[in-house]
Structure 1
Amino acid sequence: MKRLFAPIALIIAATVTTGCQSLSAPPPVELRGTGDLGLIIERATGSVLVVDHSEHEILGRVEGLGDLSHASVVYSRDARYGYVFGRDGGLTKVDLLTRTVTDRVIQSGNSIGGAISQDGRYVAVSNYEPGGVNIFDSETLDTVAEIPAFYTNAQGEKDQSKTVGLVDAPGNQFVFSLFEAGEIWTVDMYSNPPGINRYQAGKEPYDALITPDGRFYIAGLFGEDGLSMMDLWEPEQGVQTILPDYGKGEQRLPVYKMPHLEGWAIADGYAFVPAVGRHEVLVADMEDWSMVQRIPVQGQPVFVMASPDNRQIWVSFAHPKNDVVQVIDSRTREIIRTLEPGKSVLHMEFTPRGEEVWVSSRDSDRVTVYNTRTLEELATLPAQKPSGIFFTNRAHQLGL
């Protein structure tokens, strides 16, 4: 692993002058909590914005985070530090109060996301190249474990698979899927060394989620119809297929962007699922995982997210119809509003109690804030090609 930054122990109060340019160190840290803070990814510039969602305010920008074209963030238990997972294999620890990088390592050649353990001690990163999961001490970013995703391919040869859908789970576990191998692995971080169990799943899992109670791990499948679901309370039962008949005998549309299953909408006993290659949101009864409805929407859904009170389902879309967001009433399952936040909507994030939702529009260089009761625009914030929005309440939620 290549360490790029040493931990920052103090803030230097001096001012350095070079020629006509004056460079000042950050001001002393303001005494405040972090519960209403968050990070917004600026994907094109390798930077993040530190924001205050109570005041709709940008507090500062942190730069030098590498390739953030598919970046995500998890938080320490005290919600002071954000761990940013970059596409270039970089794992960066950001201090939200000092608005500085405290540590950074390059841990692979191509990574796709990560998770923090239930006890907050470990940060895991899911990698495409080389395929596998690397686990780090959350305080120091020292390596704890390296788990290469080896499997036997169709030719009977040893191969290495991309890993996707990495989440934290109860029992201090990590769970992830292997794309080429079609498997789901669990990692027990209470064991030393970590205990690994492997389960056969469907063809080409591309992303996954864990239900809010931490019981079910569900992987979307690119290589076949249906989804793979694992009951983490009864892992010995193996992986079962849910919604197996969806799409049989139908012509798929070209897939412009794979749906993201993280943030799946689960409301009133039903799961609202983005359909791959179709202009639909699927509704499944969580009692038996049967499909009960298809909701037509204006494009291919990418994010299908429930508000914290589960009353609304917010849907964003893939190119070329990605300049709008549609809001579905979870009771009537009807579209109640189509909003236009800007060009190339990439992500949405609800405030912790759900009174607002923040929406990033990459090609409009802004983030738009909506009131979820009135669906009216409250504020806009400038940002450089914004994508993911991550508030610190994620520190206390499973699977985010």
Structure 2
Amino acid sequence: MKRVLIRVLLAGLLGMLMVGNAWTAIDANVLYQKHCAECHGADRLGKVGPALLPQNLKRLRKKAAFNVIRDTRPASQMPAFREILKPKEIEALVAMIYTPLKEIPPWGMEEIKASRLEYHPPGSLPDKPQFDAQISNLFMVVELGDHHATLLNGDSFEPIHRLPTRFALHGGPKWAEGGRYIYFASRDGWISKFDVFNLKYVAEVRAGINTRNLAVSHDGRYVAVANYLPHTLVILDARDLSPLKVIDVVDENGASSRVSAVYTADPRESFVAALKDIPEVWEIGYMDKPPSGFSGWVHDYREDSGDAHKEARFPVRRISVEGYLDDFFLTQEYDRVIGTSRGMDKGKEGSAGQVVDLDLKRAVAQVSLPGMPHLSSAITWEYQGRTVLATPNIKKPEVSIVDMQSWEVIKRIPTKGPGFFMRSHEKSRYAWVDVFFGPNKDLMHVIDKQTLEIVKTLKPAPGKTSAHVEFTQDGKYALVSIWDMDGALVIYDANTLEEVKRLPMKKPSGKYNVHNKLTRSRGTSH
């Protein structure tokens, strides 16, 4: 009898060892449902707290995630679990949230409509600003450290209002209607509309599960949202963020793709989208009247309830490209796209740049851009009677200067490390570029746009990352972010390159000036 009992116990123990991974998974799921589901959703798609999916946690390393669960994080309502969960239990939770879901739940028109929150209906708030400042020179400064943004007077450099934002804003907020409204996108898909005149949010909607960025039509009527999850482009009514159309991003063979980014092409009355997994660029029209003949345009009518006029709205035009355009830049005329395809330069390290003509629907030139140029941060200016494009590089310590007529690289300016953001202004003689990656991250290079030489290297805060310059409306001042929890906004005289003011902030990142963004300044991203 004892031998039988011992065999049973050994068999049970062996079974537990053989399915150890399953036990861990079950245990993690039980822990998650008990401690996490109420705020992050039983399906991990997020509720009060952010979505806990590997796609949404790319900026958070596993070790950092362990520390967040154990100790919580600044400006968070999440409790610390150090007294509740054992280290092995926290490890199991971390492993779980970094495991992709077997199937991504649908997030279409029905789910988007159900998520919409309206705080103030259109027309219910006063049309006059509730503060005294020049609207065209306002800045919105995103503070990633504690999920806030600061509305800044660009003349006095005094904060007007500090507002909470959704977790992990991504892609840069977009101004509209002369600075009356600004739209935010979070990595979790939340789109928020803020009435700057009245310092209040007016509406929010969750347009996706994992979102890259948003764009606002030049007339302020529509918002386009680019999603990684699900593989969709979503068109919203800018007035109240109600969804108008959900476009599934698939090619002619049914293969689907993440959307890397979406941009507004003002003269074309369209949005232009970069795709991550399909060798195409998409153009989505938002014109009132359909393009003549609908040549080359494809329609998806599933969200359009049979109305003939609605069926013609937001047609899609597909443009084939070589490889996948991970990142791209639209020319100031919005007729051409300069994009990079990783590893497309015949097996050599880096990227091959393509120039795609949106009207001709094909590539018309190649550009030699090794490494990983950050074209969405590229800028242009006039140099010796021609227009040049300048782009930082995420993997190489250089700035590439490209002649936009011949598409030849006329100079590569060595820097102290790879950079992320580059900025200038039509009225400034200088272009600024950070050294975002590597040991020299606290440096900021200033380049003379006519000599193409670095004339000064600034160190705004030794040991802390300096990034993302933005200019005032008149180009007289340049604002630099100190990307640190104990960070600051540093204002420089753009001519003398001397510091004039410093404002403490919580890991400030991007700063967005009304005039420069709405006029599509050559010196800033659009």
Query: Structure 1 residues 35 and 102, CA, compared in 2 at 3 Å: closer, same or farther?
Result: same
Aligned match of 1:231: 357
Aligned match of 1:173: 270
Higher Rg: 2
Matches within 5 A, 1:150-299: 150-151=250-251, 158-169=254-265, 170-190=267-287, 191=290, 192-224=312-344, 225-232=351-358, 235-244=359-368, 246-247=369-370, 259=374, 261-268=376-383, 269-299=387-417
Moved more, 273-282 or 286-295: 273-282
1:368 paired with 2:490, answer yes
Query: Structure 1 residues 341 and 204, CA, compared in 2 at 3 Å: closer, same or farther?
Result: farther
- Give the alignment partner of residue 357 of structure 1, picking from 478, 489, 507: 478
Q: Secondary structure at the match of 1:61?
A: strand
- Provide the C-alpha distance between the structure 2 equivalents of 1:167 and 1:353, rounded to a whole number of angstroms: 25
CA contact (8 A) 2:319 2:361 kept: no
Q: Secondary structure at the match of 2:421?
A: strand
- Give the alignment partner of residue 106 of structure 1, picking from 206, 209, 229: 206
Q: Secondary structure at the match of 1:243?
A: strand
- Greater relative contact order: 1 or 2 (C-alpha under 8 angstroms, separation 6 or more)? 1
Question: Quick one: which amino acid aligns to residue 349 of structure 1?
Answer: E
CA contact (8 A) 1:263 1:306 kept: no
Moved more, 220-229 or 99-108: 220-229
Aligned match of 1:6: 119
Question: Quick one: which amino acid aligns to residue 392 of structure 1?
Answer: V
Question: Quick one: which amino acid aligns to residue 255 of structure 2?
Answer: D
Q: Secondary structure at the match of 2:136?
A: coil
- What is the CA deviation profile of residues 322-370 of structure 1, one whole-angstrom value per residue up to 9, with x for unaligned ones? 2111011111111001112231223221112211111111214211111
Moved more, 31-40 or 296-305: 31-40
Question: Quick one: which amino acid aligns to residue 335 of structure 1?
Answer: I
Provide the aligned C-alpha RMSD in A: 2.2
* Cα deviation, residue 389, structure 1: 0.6
1:29 paired with 2:130, answer yes
Name the structure where strand makes up a greater proportion of residues. 1
Name the structure where helix makes up a greater proportion of residues. 2
* Cα deviation, residue 4, structure 1: 3.3
CA contact (8 A) 1:121 1:139 kept: yes
Moved more, 39-48 or 206-215: 206-215
CA contact (8 A) 1:265 1:305 kept: no
* Cα deviation, residue 83, structure 1: 0.5
The two structures have a TM-score, normalised by structure 1, of: 0.85
- What is the CA deviation profile of residues 166-188 of structure 1, one whole-angstrom value per residue up to 9, with x for unaligned ones? 21112211001101112111111
Query: Structure 1 residues 202 and 309, CA, compared in 2 at 3 Å: closer, same or farther?
Result: farther
Query: Structure 1 residues 10 and 114, CA, compared in 2 at 3 Å: closer, same or farther?
Result: closer
- Provide the C-alpha distance between the structure 2 equivalents of 1:228 and 1:331, rounded to a whole number of angstroms: 26
Question: Quick one: which amino acid aligns to residue 331 of structure 1?
Answer: Q
Aligned match of 2:429: 311
CA contact (8 A) 1:43 1:71 kept: no
Number of corresponding residues: 368
* Cα deviation, residue 59, structure 1: 0.9
Query: Structure 1 residues 217 and 323, CA, compared in 2 at 3 Å: closer, same or farther?
Result: same
1:395 paired with 2:518, answer yes
Query: Structure 1 residues 284 and 396, CA, compared in 2 at 3 Å: closer, same or farther?
Result: closer
Q: Is there any run of 5+ residues in structure 1 with no aligned partner, and where? A: 12-27
Query: Structure 1 residues 310 and 175, CA, compared in 2 at 3 Å: closer, same or farther?
Result: farther
CA contact (8 A) 2:469 2:480 kept: yes
Query: Structure 1 residues 48 and 74, CA, compared in 2 at 3 Å: closer, same or farther?
Result: same
CA contact (8 A) 1:304 1:314 kept: yes
- Provide the C-alpha distance between the structure 2 equivalents of 1:309 and 1:182, rounded to a whole number of angstroms: 38
* Cα deviation, residue 281, structure 1: 0.9
Question: Quick one: which amino acid aligns to residue 37 of structure 1?
Answer: L
- Provide the C-alpha distance between the structure 2 equivalents of 1:260 and 1:367, rounded to a whole number of angstroms: 25
- Provide the C-alpha distance between the structure 2 equivalents of 1:260 and 1:292, rounded to a whole number of angstroms: 17
- What is the CA deviation profile of residues 182-203 of structure 1, one whole-angstrom value per residue up to 9, with x for unaligned ones? 2111111113321211112233
